[in-house]
Amino acid sequence: MTFCEQYIVGENGQLIDQRFLPRIVEGELRLNMIYQTPTEVVHKKPADGGISATLKSGAKYISYKPEDPLMVGLIDNFVNHDLPKVMPALGLEGAPIPLIWTSDFILGDQVDGKDTYFVGEFNCSCVGVTQQLYLCPLVAEAAIKIASGST
């Protein structure tokens, strides 16, 4: 616990209280975004019996296009319902969504036979498109929108 104190004690201390989501064993879904546009969903499935979703741990990555019927519910709900609330919830109302970023989702309970999703992480500090160079024109268009204030 002494080691953890550096993260939770003092003026800059932080603690995130998130309930355990037992479906984590099914993996997580990483939604890759360029500004407000979803570009890919990667289902990071842990190796049998594990919960780690890293390639090094043996996880398998399955890529889906945003329009894939398996991902439409997640993307539609996030982009059209939740995304406009993200920056204000972070105290950054009026600031643009990052240019290139990801959101990782963990599966929640099913409601009326449909999956629910919980954001486990946002990442905009070490995300790139080095393996998807075909996305560069979309990045350029989004950068121009952000820079010109025509969001």
Q: Given pLDDT bands bounded at 50, 70 and 90, which one contains residue 151?
A: low
Residue for token digits 């390639």?
55
Whether pLDDT at 140 is above 90: yes
The pLDDT assigned to 91 comes to 92
User: Cβ neighbours of residue 100 under 8 Å, at least 6 residues apart?
Assistant: 33, 34, 124, 127, 128, 129, 139
Q: Which tokens in the block code for residue 94?
A: 């009026």
Mean pLDDT to the nearest integer, 131-149: 91
The pLDDT assigned to 30 comes to 96
Write out the DSSP string of the chain: -HHHHHHHSSTT---------GGGGG-EEEEEEETTEEEEEEEEEPPTT-----GGGT-EEEEE-TT-TTTHHHHHHIIIIIHHHHHHHTT-TTSPPPSEEEEEEEEEEEETTEEEEEEEEEE-SS---TT-GGGHHHHHHHHHHHHHT--
Q: How much of the chain, in percent, has pLDDT values that exceed 70? A: 99
Whether pLDDT at 38 is above 80: yes
pTM of the prediction? 0.85
Cα distances (angstroms) measured from residue 147 to each of 37, 81, 142, 143: 17, 25, 9, 6
Residue-averaged pLDDT of the chain: 90
The pLDDT assigned to 98 comes to 95
